[in-house]
Amino acid sequence: MTKDKLRDAALTYHSQGRPGKIEVVPTKPYSSQRDLSLAYSPGVAEPCLAIKEDPEIPIMHDDQHGTAIISACGLLNALELNGKKIDDIRIVVNGAGAAAISCTRLYMALGAQPGNIVMLDSKGVINTRRGDLNDRKKPFATSRPINTLEEAMKGADMFLGLSVGNVLTPEMLLTMNSDPIVFALANPDPEIAYETAMATRDDLIFATGRSDYPNQINNVLGFPYIFRGALDVQATCINEEMKIAKVARENQISLEGMEIVNMVAVAVIDAIVDENIRVKKLTRTL
């Protein structure tokens, strides 16, 4: 499906029925893979982009930006533990959907080097030799002569999984650099099971998207607070600077063991002020 056709199909899909996807019963069709691709990634991004054209509405796509913010917080915390620097580490991103691309972009905004990042989709490594890449994937194509996840994992410092379960093997894990970081965020089954990963290496920093394992990385930990900050001052947008401010503040707070709700909201407000983001005129109510 071309980008223009995806956009038109996604906007048509989300305009059907009442706003939102679910009430007591589903309000939109979801019986096929095509329906799901319009309802969620990548199609769900198109209504967000369309709504964003209204300059009065702050927009944040939770699956993309919420995941990016929380995983970036986790990455910075992990780097504090293993003593590595974000601009030095080699990162493997397994998955090339909206969330994976958003995470990768935020990592680069925080200092990760594009040349140190390898992204994979369902066909393997996104590299410059492939002729089937769409406009969303082309910026992440590597010139390295590798094609498979197994090849990409050799010497990697971090693995970010936003794909499918059980694609990362213990053998691949053993080829990573010392003190590796693995965020296996596929649900319900992560890219490698927690028990398997922890039994494979004792220098591993490991997280999943599940609440029943240690170190959960989930977008629900992020979006309430960035919206709280934006709504408190009635900001008209949510931009990259606000996301980075939240990453930096939540990273500091998690290291200090402080309660995060109000502190992160304040960090977002500070970013709004620093960047002169336009806000709606506030009126006093009794």
Kindly report the pTM of this predicted structure: 0.74
Supply the pLDDT for residue 286: 31
**Are the beta carbons of 176 and 155 closer than 8 angstroms?**
yes
What is each CA distance from 285 to 172, 235, 282, in whole angstroms?
60, 18, 9
Distance between CA atoms of 139 and 7, rounded to whole angstroms? 20
Between CA 100 and CA 233 the distance in angstroms is 30
Which pLDDT score is estimated for 285? 39
Copy the structure tokens of residue 258. Answer: 């402080």
Instruction: Name the stretches of the chain with pLDDT < 70.
Output: 20-24, 55, 241-286
| Domains of the chain and any CATH numbers | 3-52 (no CATH), 63-208 (3.40.50.720), 222-241+257-274 (no CATH)
